[in-house]
Structures are given as C-alpha cells and as structure tokens.
Amino acid sequence: MEKSMDESSPHVLIFPCPAQGHVNSMLKLAELLAIQNLHITFLNTQYIHNRLIQFNDDIQALLECYPKLQFKTIPDFLDEENHPGFGVKIGDAIVSLSLYSKPFLREIIVSEKISCIVLDGIFGDLATDLAHEFGIQLIHFRTISPCCFWAYLCVPKLLECNELPIRGEEDMDRIIRNMPGMENLLRCRDLPSFCRQNNEDHILLDEVVLRTKQSLNANALILNTFEDLDSPILSQIRLHFPKLYTLGPLHHHLNTTKKTSSASSFKSNFFKVDKECMVWLDSQELKSVIYVSFGSTTPMKKEELIEIWHGLLNSKKQFLWVIRPNMVQEKGLLNELKEGTNKEKGLIVEWVSQEEVLSHKAIGAFLTHSGWNSTLESVVCGVPMICWPYFADQQINSRFVSEVWKIGLDMKDVCDRKVVENMVNDVMVNRKEEFLRSAKEMAELACKSVSPGGSSYNSFYELIQFIRSTSR
Ligand code: UDX
C-alpha cells in the first residue's frame, strides 16, 4: 500500500474513529478530496483495515484509480484476545487511541509530510498539540448529526438552568426550554442518550461534552449535513464555529461528483454483503417493502427481536430485515426467525449494501435505529422512516425525523408488536401520501445541495480552497 507522494499539493491525513458509521462517511470525504487531486493518507486501525480488506474485494483495484490516496494502519492498543470489536464498546478504542496513538500520528506527519489533519472530532484534543507543533491545519469532522452536536454544546447551560440532570423515568416527558434553535421541541427522552445517566454517573456525558468543546481548538469543523436540512441549528453552531463546512449528504455528494468523473467508489463494509436480497427485491411491487436495519452497533434483546418480528408479520407488509451476526446473544434465535419467515412475507439477511437497497423502487419505508448515516441515506432516497433509536445521537435524530422534518414516525422507548404493526401501516398505507410527499421534497433539497451551485457543493470548494491556501 506504500505510494510515493509528490510534494507539490497538500497532503491530508484523515483519521476516523474505528466504527462503521465513522469510517463510511470519512472515506466518502477522502474520495471526494482525492478526486480533487489532493494527497490523502487514510488511517485505520489494523483491526478495521483487516475487515475492509476481507469484505470489500475491489479495494486494491480502486486504490490504483487514485494514485494520490493511500491507506495506512495504526494499532488500536487493545487486547487482541478480548477485542471489543467496533460495537457498543467502541469507547474502549477511543480511550486507548487517545492515550497511545500520538507517537504514531507524529511519525506519519513527519514521514508523509502531512500539511492538514482531518480528525474525527470524537477524539477531542488528540491532535491539537501535534498541529501546533508542526504548524499545520487541524480540521475536526463530526459524524453525528448537527442537532446532537449542538445539544452537547448546550449541556452546561441546561445544567445551569436545572433542566438537567434528568430526574428518573417520570421526568422523561418534561420539555426542554433552554436550547436555542430548538426551544420547546425536545423532551428529556429526546436528548442524546448520554444525558440519561443519573446524577452520580455523569462521567461519560462530561467526557462527550468536553470532546465536543475541544473542536473549538481546531481550525475548522466539518459536518455531514446540508443547509436546507439543518439551517436553524447551523446558525447556532456558527456563532461558536465560524469556520464550518457543511458538505453532506456526503455519500450523495460523492455519487453526484462521480457522475462527472471516471473514478469508482470505495465500499467500506465490515460484514459480507448479501447480494441475493437484491434479486428478491426485484420481484417485489413498487414501494411495497419495509427495509429494517438497526445499523452496525445496536445490540438487541431476544424479546425485542420477537416483538419486531411479530409486528412486521402482522403488518402484512413484506420486509427485508438486516440482523447482523453480532446483534444477538442467542445464536439459535436468528435461525429460528429465518426459518419462521417465508419469502412471501419477508427476508432476513446479515448485511446488505444499504445505499443500493434504499434506492430500490420496491422500498416503501425504513425501520431504522436513526444512526446519522442511515438517516441521511434515507433522506436522499425519499424513503419515510420509522425510528427506533438505541443510543448516542439517535434519540434526537428520531425526534427531528418525526417533528421537524416530518418524514416519519418515532417509536422511541417502546418495543411492542402492536405499535410496530400500526406504525408500519401508518407510514405505508394510512398516511403514505403525506410522508412520501415530505420525504420527496427533502430528497430534492438534498440533491440540490450537492449539485453545482448548491450549498454543500459550494462549501466543499471553500474547504478545498482553505486546505490549499493554508498548506505549506
Ligand atoms: C454510529 C451511531 O450509532 C450513530 O448514531 C452515529 O450517528 C454514527 O455512528 P451506526 O450504528 O453505524 O453509527 O449507524 P449509521 O450512522 O446509520 O451507519 C451505519 C452505516 O452502515 C450506514 O452507512 C449504512 O449504509 C451501513 N449499513 C448498515 C450497510 O451498509 N449495510 C447494512 O446492512 C447496514
């Protein structure tokens, strides 16, 4: 994977958190920058790199299309025997990389003559000293939604006004008032999941808030969104981060750009993609199938899987459901569900090419965990959502889907077969036209934003100018 890099153009080091949603969106940015002829070093942990190589056949061939893009790896300093993977225990990797990766980063900055770092903002101040030491630009990329990023910044004020902490289960429907840009919109249950911790256990929330504030020490901030989606929130964020680039939806930005370039696109699956499901989808009627996936991280309890399964069956809508191998403890359960689902009712698979599935004409709705990438992918395809958030930004994303953008329903904190059945029927039958109309309008705005003259298109060129003008 070693390439010789000429020194005439900026060399950007991109370092994502070792998790699917983070690698996906930061790799899209890497590819967009590579198309603009910038040198890119994309840094993954060895563990993630191995998965990329294992499940994405064409990586090597694609690297040849981009002579100025290279992959490098770094250890994650975790115990190999009890490796937490990239699931809910991702915090372990963030902590160990924060503690031990600096010397490796320094070595890469020197050997590759890096002139700009795009760091996953989840690492907080990890590269701030290094950027100062070498006099290079540091840009933070936050892969979460802008509404969540803004909520983290508002946490100190909420504590000051006694709106936080949340005082137990009975407090969950209390309305949050002191959050500029989203006054009276959120209930306690809609705040990012880390706010749910009780008084004594605020360590994780404090850490998340601190790392969010540390983005102020970077020279610029990138968010994966577009102006028409998040304008009131972006105005608030800009008061603190004037150098804010909004480039999203990044996957669509890349797809649109590639239509005018000859390059192909990197896939970044951490699991083997099931291709047969596309054949099954081809045989289904227009907008008749509900796609169900809870992302790369969400674990599920047996009872939850069973409630959702019955809800889907009772809805009488065909479904395509992704149940990852690492999603359930009870190994036999997956087989039981598969055996109990015949192809007239639905299909259960372990991983799909989600962008491809969502853009298939047979898909009529998406039952999702409201991860930010999944939300944007659904927005671009004009697919209405039913949201069942699990953690992090998902609780607030699902509130925005239902109450701000009005492109779906929020099933938060409930997992009941009757509710699943009713919501599927509301989105796909009773209120179908209403949801399809608003989802289509939002999809059009997303497409406009990444087309020539659109907000994300322009912002990307401003970013390129910033990187070029400040690189040594
Ligand atoms: C995590 C957090 O859960 C999320 O809230 C945060 O916004 C980003 O980090 P994750 O659970 O991975 O993300 O969800 P999401 O952001 O939606 O990313 C999942 C990615 O995996 C999407 O790009 C989706 O297209 C892809 N995917 C998912 C597949 O390619 N195939 C699948 O079968 C399922």
Note the pLDDT of residue 265.
Answer: 85
> Same domain, yes or no, for 134 and 250?
yes
Across the range 262-291, mean pLDDT stands at 92
**Residue in 373, 377, 385 to alter for ligand 1 test, most ligand atoms within 8 A of Cβ:** 373
Is 22 annotated as catalytic? Answer: yes
Note the pLDDT of residue 114.
Answer: 97
* Structural domain includes residue 369: yes
- Rounded CA-CA distance 171/165 in Å is 10
Identify the domain containing residue 288 by its residue range: 276-352+359-447
* Structural domain includes residue 173: no
User: Which residues, at least 6 apart from 463, have a Cβ–Cβ distance to it below 8 Å?
Assistant: 220, 222, 245, 247
Geometric angle at alpha carbon 206, from 201 and 207, rounded to 5°: 110
The terminus-to-terminus CA distance of the chain in angstroms comes to 25
Per-residue pLDDT band at 327 (split at 50, 70, 90): confident
- Altogether, the residues listed in the chain come to a count of 472
Across the range 313-332, mean pLDDT stands at 91
> Same domain, yes or no, for 303 and 229?
no
Residue 8 has pLDDT above 80, yes or no: no
Ligand 1, residue 24: give the atom nearest the CA.
Answer: 23
Residue 199 has pLDDT above 60, yes or no: no
* Structural domain includes residue 158: no
Match 């970013």 to its residue by tokens. 463
> Same domain, yes or no, for 396 and 307?
yes
> Same domain, yes or no, for 344 and 291?
yes
Note the pLDDT of residue 330.
Answer: 82
Q: Which two tokens stand for residue 384?
A: 């209405």
Is 253 annotated as catalytic? Answer: no
| 372 Cβ inside 6 Å of ligand 1 | yes
Q: Which two tokens stand for residue 148?
A: 């969540």
Residue 6 has pLDDT above 70, yes or no: no
Chain Cα centroid distance, residue 352:
16
Buried b (16+ CB within 10 A) or exposed e, 353-367: ebbebbebebbbbbb
> Same domain, yes or no, for 38 and 132?
yes
Mean pLDDT (the chain) is: 93
- 3-state class (DSSP) for residue 320: strand
β-pair partners for 40:
12, 69
- Rounded CA-CA distance 384/216 in Å is 35
Residue 84 has pLDDT above 90, yes or no: no
* Structural domain includes residue 191: no
- Rounded CA-CA distance 94/124 in Å is 10
Task: List, for residues 54-64, the tens digit of each pLDDT value.
Answer: 999 888 888 88
Q: Which two tokens stand for residue 80?
A: 């190999």
> Same domain, yes or no, for 343 and 243?
no
| 459 Cβ inside 6 Å of ligand 1 | no
Kindly report whether the global pTM for this prediction surpasses the value 0.80.
yes
> Same domain, yes or no, for 333 and 281?
yes
Q: What percent of the chain has pLDDT over 70?
A: 96
User: Which residues, at least 6 apart from 105, have a Cβ–Cβ distance to it below 8 Å?
Assistant: 13, 15, 74, 117, 126, 127, 130
Short-list 285, 284, 292, 286, CA closest to 420: 292
Task: List, for residues 434-462, the tens digit of each pLDDT value.
Answer: 999 999 999 999 999 999 999 999 999 99
- 3-state class (DSSP) for residue 388: coil
Question: Which region, left, alpha or beta, applies to residue 460 given φ > 0 means left and ψ of -120 to 50 means alpha?
Answer: alpha
| 297 Cβ inside 6 Å of ligand 1 | yes
Across the range 373-396, mean pLDDT stands at 97
> If you measure from the C-alpha of residue 3 to the centroid of ligand 1, how many angstroms do you get, rounded to a whole number?
31
At 100, which helix (H) or strand (E)?
helix 90-100
Tally the domains of the chain: 2
> Same domain, yes or no, for 242 and 337?
no
Q: Which two tokens stand for residue 464?
A: 């390129």
439 or 198, which is more confident?
439
Across the range 251-278, mean pLDDT stands at 89
> Same domain, yes or no, for 243 and 342?
no
Per-residue pLDDT band at 1 (split at 50, 70, 90): very low
- Rounded CA-CA distance 368/390 in Å is 10
Note the pLDDT of residue 154.
Answer: 96
- Rounded CA-CA distance 345/243 in Å is 50
- Rounded CA-CA distance 212/120 in Å is 11
Q: Are strands 116-120 and 244-246 parallel, antiparallel or unpaired?
A: unpaired
Which of 282-291, 330-339, 379-388, 452-461 is least confident? 330-339
Chain Cα centroid distance, residue 154:
21
Note the pLDDT of residue 255.
Answer: 95
Residue 200 has pLDDT above 60, yes or no: no
- Rounded CA-CA distance 472/455 in Å is 28
- Rounded CA-CA distance 23/269 in Å is 9
Per-residue pLDDT band at 472 (split at 50, 70, 90): low
> If you measure from the C-alpha of residue 374 to the centroid of ligand 1, how many angstroms do you get, rounded to a whole number?
6
- Rounded CA-CA distance 39/194 in Å is 37
Do 185 and 404 form a contact (C-beta atoms < 8 A)? yes
- Rounded CA-CA distance 418/420 in Å is 5
* Structural domain includes residue 1: no
Considering the candidates 11, 39, 76, 120, report the single residue annotated as catalytic.
120
Short-list 458, 442, 321, 298, CA closest to 382: 442
Do 11 and 5 form a contact (C-beta atoms < 8 A)? yes
Q: For residue 171, give the DSSP letter.
A: G
Short-list 231, 149, 263, 225, CA closest to 380: 225
* Structural domain includes residue 195: no
> Same domain, yes or no, for 125 and 81?
yes
> Same domain, yes or no, for 262 and 296?
no
- Rounded CA-CA distance 425/406 in Å is 16
- 3-state class (DSSP) for residue 366: strand
Assign residue 317 the CATH number of its domain.
3.40.50.2000
Across the range 101-122, mean pLDDT stands at 97
Task: List, for residues 204-230, the tens digit of each pLDDT value.
Answer: 888 999 999 999 999 999 999 999 999
Note the pLDDT of residue 263.
Answer: 63
| 254 Cβ inside 6 Å of ligand 1 | no
* Structural domain includes residue 171: no
**Residue in 20, 269, 412 to alter for ligand 1 test, most ligand atoms within 8 A of Cβ:** 20
Short-list 416, 354, 462, CA closest to 20: 354
| 352 Cβ inside 6 Å of ligand 1 | yes
Across the range 185-203, mean pLDDT stands at 84
At 219, which helix (H) or strand (E)?
none
Across the range 142-171, mean pLDDT stands at 95
* Structural domain includes residue 104: yes
> Same domain, yes or no, for 241 and 370?
no
Q: For residue 187, give the DSSP letter.
A: B
> If you measure from the C-alpha of residue 426 to the centroid of ligand 1, how many angstroms do you get, rounded to a whole number?
25
